[in-house]
Structure 1
Amino acid sequence: MYKYTIEFIIFGLKQANACFFGIFILSISIISNVWYPLESIHRYDFIFLAAIVFQIFLLISKFETLKEFLVIMTFHIVATVMEIFKTSDAIGSWVYPEEYIFGVGNVPLFTGFMYSAVGSYITRAWKIFDLKFGYYPKTIYTVLLVTAIYINFFSHHFFYDIRWFLVAATVLMFAKTKVYFKIIRDYRNMPLLLGWFLVALFIWLAENIATYVNIWIYPNQKDGWQLVSFGKLSSWYLLMILSFVLVSLFNNTKGAINKGVLSRL
C-alpha cells in the first residue's frame, strides 16, 4: 500500500510538471480577472506578453528544448487558424468580449498559447513519463484520421457534422492501443483511449474556469455564465487526438516494449 501511495504522489507531481505551461496560463487568467491594476495595457494583451516571456523562460531554463518548442508552435499555428475561422462574424462559435491590440480578426493572439499549453503538456508528459505504446496504428492511418478531424472542425458549419463517426473511428483504430508510462521504476499502463478521455475531461473543466473568468464566452453565456455543455467534451476529445498525433510525428510511437518487465495498471 505504501508503494502505491508514493507512486500516486509522484504521478501527481509529474503531471503538474507536465502541465507547467497550462497552469501558468490558467493562473494568470484567473488572477487578472480578480485583480488587474494596469490601465495602460489591455488584459488580453498583458496575458499575451506574459505568455511570450514565460515561453522564453522555459527555453532558457531548459524546461523545453528547441525541438519541443517547434512542435508546440506547429500546434499553435494550426489551432490559431481554426480560431480565426470559428470566431469570424459569419460563424461566431464563441467570442472574446474584452478589448485588445495584439490580435488577428476577432482573435486576440494570446489564445494560441492556450492551445500551445495542450501541445506542451503532451510533449512534456511524453518525456517525463517515458511513454511507450503497444499496438499503435500505422502513422499514415493516424494522419488521415486527424486530417479528417481538422477538416470537420470547419466543414460541419456547412455540411453534415461527422464528429460521432470520427469518434467511432478513433475507437476502432485505437481499441487495442495501450500507453505505458513510468512513474518511478515500473511501467504502468492504460488504454490510450481512456488516457485521451481523461485529459479531454480535464481540459473541459479548465474551459469552464476560463469562460467564468471571461477569457472567452459562448453565445449562451452572454447574459450570464453557464456550465459549458458536456457536448464540448467530444470536441476536446477530438482536438486532443489531433494534438497527440501532431506530437507523435516528432516522437517514437513504436518504443519496443518488453512486457516481461512492465507492470499492469
Structure 2
Amino acid sequence: MRTLKQLVRFGWEQALSCLFPVVIFASLALTQIIPLPLLPRYDWLLIICLLMQWGMLRAGLETRDELKVITLFHLIGLALELFKVHMGSWSYPGEGYSKVFGVPLYSGFMYASVASYLCQAWRRLKVELVKWPPFLVVFPLAAAIYLNFFTHHYWIDVRWWLSGLVLIVFWQTRVLYEVGGIRYRMPLALSFVLIGFFIWIAENIATFFGAWEYPNQTDAWSLVHLGKVSSWLLLVIVSFLIVAMLKRVKGNGSVQVGSGQLTTAQYK
C-alpha cells in the first residue's frame, strides 16, 4: 500500500512538472481538430506558447532563473530546427507568418518544454547529483553531442561512440530525488534512457497531430522509427548536462562533485 501511495505521489509530481509539454500537446491536438480564425495554425501555436510561458511565470510555477534556462533551450532548439529543416530531415508544410526559413518559431518551445520539465522536476523532487564529473569533462561532452546533430550530415555519425562515452563518464553518478519525504536514488544513465524513451512517445503524438513531418510521413502518418530514441536520448543528455552545469554555477548545492558517499540509512 505504501509503495502504491509513493507511485501516485511520484506520478503527480511528474504530471505537474510536465505542465508546459501537456499544454503544447493539447494545443497541437485542438488546433488540428478545430481550425482557428484570423491566423495560420503555426502562429496560434506560438501565441499559445508565449501566453503559457507568461502565465507560468506570473503564477509562480516558474522562477526567473528557470525562464532564462528555458529561453536558452528555445534558442538552442531553434538553431537545430533551422539546420535540420534545411537538410531535409523533416519539414513544416503548413503556412505561417512566424516561419523563418521554413521553421515556425513555436518549434523552439518544444525544446524549451523539455527544459521546463527538467527544471520543474528538479525543484519538485529536490533532485541532487552525487559523484558528478568535473566541468572540464562534462562541457566538452555536451558540446560534442550537440555538434554531432549537425556534423553527421557531412562526416561520420558518432552518436553511439558518444553514448558509450556518456556511460563511462557517468557510470558512478547517481540521481537522488525525494517523494513523500523519502529519498531515493537511481543511476543517472538510467534516468537518461527513461526520459529519452518517453520523449520518443511524445514525438509520435506530436507528429500524429502535425507538429512536424518526417519524409516517410508525407503521404500518411506512421510510427517514428525506434532509432530516433537514440537522438532524443542524446538531446536529453545535452539538456540535463546544461541544466546541471547551470545549477552548479548558481551554487545551490544540488550537484556534488567528487566521491561523496551515501549512507543506506538516508537513501532507498
TM-score (norm 1): 0.95
Q: Distance in 1 between matches of 2:92 and 2:266?
A: 47
Q: CA deviation at 1:258?
A: 5.1
1:228 to 224, 233, 237: 224
Cα drift, residue 111 of structure 1:
0.3
Aligned to 1:87, what secondary structure does the other structure show?
helix
Secondary structure at the counterpart of residue 114 of structure 1: helix
Question: Deviation at 1:39?
Answer: 2.9
Aligned length: 260
Give runs of aligned pairs for residues 71-86 of structure 1, distance below 5 A.
Answer: 71-86=69-84
Normalising to structure 2: TM-score of the pair?
0.94
| Distance of 1:195 and 1:261 partners within structure 2 | 23
Residues 118-164 of structure 1: per-residue CA shift (max 9 Å, x gap):
00000111111111122221122111101001111100000111111
* Structure 1 gap segments, 5+ residues each: none
Once residues 171 and 83 of structure 1 are traced to their aligned partners in structure 2, the CA distance between those partners, rounded to angstroms, is 27
The SS at the match of 1:28 is: helix
Q: Distance in 1 between matches of 2:263 and 2:102?
A: 50
Matches within 5 A, 1:162-173: 162-173=158-169
- Partner amino acid for 2:9? I
- Corresponding residue for residue 259 of structure 1: 263
Match of 1:238 among 213, 234, 255: 234
Aligned Cα root-mean-square deviation (Å): 1.3
Identity %: 36
Find the partner of 1:114 among 110, 115, 140.
110
C-alpha distance in structure 1 between counterparts of 2:265 and 2:219, whole Å: 56
Structure 2 CA distance for aligned equivalents of residues 52 and 257 of structure 1: 43
Question: Is the Cα–Cα contact under 8 Å of residues 133 and 179 in structure 1 kept in the other structure?
Answer: yes
Cα shift at 1:259: 2.3
2:97 maps to 101
Deviation at 1:189, TM superposition (A): 1.1
Deviation sequence 1:214-233 (CA, Å, 0-9, x none): 11010011111110001100
Task: State the Cα distance separating 1:103 from its structure 2 match.
Answer: 2.1
1:129 aligns with 2:125: yes
**1:84 alignment partner AA:** L
Partner Cα distance (1:137, 1:158) in 2: 31
Aligned partner of residue 162 in structure 2, secondary structure: helix
